[in-house]
A and B are shown apart, each in its own frame.
Chain A
Amino acid sequence: MHSFGYRLNVLLTFAVTILALMCAMASLSDNLNTPSPSAEIQIMNINWFQKQPQGNDEVSLTMNISADLQSLFTWNTKQVFIFVAAEYETPKNSLNQVSLWDAIIPAKEHAKFWIHTSNKYRFVDQGNNLRGKEFNLTLHWHVMPKTGKMFANKIVMTGYSLPEEYR
């Protein structure tokens, strides 16, 4: 009844149960946090706007991205992954989401930033529908915890549009 094996078994089971409980509580504590992030994106320049040989439109642009995402961090946050996507509609596709830039914020101190950058990923359409197209820029964030449930949300900024002609 009090053999070594039995005691080891009970100890290990108890330890694993407590660990699982602590992970669950850590994850639940994230729900107490009410984030209030803010962001602003300006398109500084359309570098070029061409139709590719395969027939798809492609744009290269330079953006000014500034954001304050410090309120997303809790003690259970490992990192926040953010990306900026262009969202628009075409006759063929009801929704197109193209990620233009992303970054990893490892700590709260880096969560308030300002960056001037051209698009990291190619902004290519399925087709040639981009001339004069109006689109939204959304800043998405994905909070990755040290353990538990991940949270994702976004800010939608409207009112951007592409030139009428290729250049």
Chain B
Amino acid sequence: MSWIGDTVDSIKSIQIRQLLTQGVSLGMIVTSALIIWKALMCITGSESPVVVVLSESMEPGFKRGDILFLHMSKEPIRAGEIVVFNVDGREIPIVHRVIKVHERQDTGEVDVLTKGDNNPGDDRLLYAQGQHWLQRQHIMGRAVGFLPYVGWVTIIMTEKPIIKYILIGALGLLVITSKD
């Protein structure tokens, strides 16, 4: 276990220039991640191109911890599509399926009703007071693909923030003490 000794030695021998270089590398990593995220937002046309499934309301299709890839196109919303929407006053978006669509003749605007596959009733209880339908502006994207289990990382970090701090602390330590 001589790497403990090495780590302590390298902390003792930190020079300013090396420290600044490490700081810039860390900044570059964070910035590239941000660039990729923003580029994804542009490509998919959705405010949040990837979401994590948080509830069991779409089981057995989507389980807690799966991630969904979203895409928003100008195509009209049709029954059967799985959409992600925000309800006024709630900050967490909901991922459910469209079961009813009423599209106006003149304006092309739609009234949409959604329901989770695993829920007994439709989503009217989740909508804002007095709201019976969703409109296009509430919908952030359609789910087009998914990956299982990958979202557990986000769920753990949100529900037990201490793990997030430990991870960031460990990563920071690793960057500072790495020789290259």
Interface residues of A (CB under 8 A from B): 3-5, 23, 27, 78-79, 81, 83, 85, 91-99, 102, 104, 106, 121, 126, 140, 142, 144-150, 152, 154
- Residue B152 is within 8 A (CB to CB) of chain A in the complex: no
Q: Contact: A147 with B146, CB < 8 Å?
A: yes
- Option from B101, B117, B148, B174 in Cβ contact (under 8 Å) with A97: B101
Write the residues of chain B forming the contact surface with A, with a CB cutoff of 8 angstroms.
Answer: 3, 60-62, 78-82, 97, 99-105, 108, 111, 117, 122, 143-148, 174
Determine whether the beta carbon of B61 is less than 8 Å from that of A140: no
**Does more than half of chain A's interface fall in helix, strand or loop, or is it mixed?**
strand
Closest B residue to A83 by CB, please name it.
Answer: B80
Q: Which of A3, A4, A149 contacts B145 (CB 8 A)?
A: A149
Contact partners of A3 in chain B: CB under 8 A: 3
Chain B: CB-nearest residue to A4: B3
Residues of A within 8 A of B147 (CB): 23, 147-148
Task: State A160–B108 Cα separation when bound (angstroms).
Answer: 25
17 example contacts (A-B, Cβ-Cβ < 8 A) are as follows: A4-B3, A79-B60, A79-B61, A81-B61, A83-B79, A92-B105, A95-B103, A99-B79, A102-B117, A104-B60, A104-B61, A121-B99, A147-B147, A148-B146, A149-B144, A150-B145, A152-B80
Our pick among A5, A93, A97 for the contact of B104 (Cβ within 8 Å) is A93
* Cα of A85 to Cα of B3 in the assembled complex, Å: 65
Are B99 and A96 within 8 A (Cβ)? Answer: no
Instruction: Contact check, A99 vs B99: say whether CB atoms are below 8 A apart.
Output: yes
Residues of A within 8 Å of B60, CB to CB, are: 78-79, 104, 106
In the complex, what residues of B have CB within 8 A of residue A91's CB?
Answer: 105
Shortest beta-carbon distance from B49 to chain A in Å: 15
- Asked if B145 contacts A95 (CB within 8 A), the reply is no
Rounded to whole angstroms, the CA-CA distance of A20 and B31 in the bound complex is 23
Residues on the A chain within 8 Å of B148, using CB: 146-147
Assuming the contacts A79-B61, A99-B99, asked whether A94 and B80 have C-beta atoms less than 8 A apart, the reply is no
What A residues does B61 contact at CB under 8 A?
Answer: 78-79, 81, 104, 144
Residues of chain A contacted by B62 (CB below 8 angstroms): 144
Contact A97 B3 (CB under 8 A): no
Residues on the A chain within 8 Å of B97, using CB: 81, 142
A92 partner residues in chain B, CB cutoff 8 A: 104-105
In whole angstroms, what is the CA distance A57 to B117 when docked?
26
Task: Give the residue of A83, A95, A150 whose beta carbon is less than 8 angstroms from that of B101.
Answer: A95
In this complex, the member of B61, B97, B122 whose beta carbon has the largest number of chain A beta carbons within 10 angstroms is B61
The 10 closest A-B CB pairs, nearest first, are: A99-B99, A97-B79, A97-B101, A95-B103, A140-B80, A94-B105, A149-B145, A144-B61, A93-B102, A85-B79
Separation in Å of the B114 CB from the closest CB of chain A?
10
Quick check: A142 and B80 within 8 Å, CB to CB?
yes
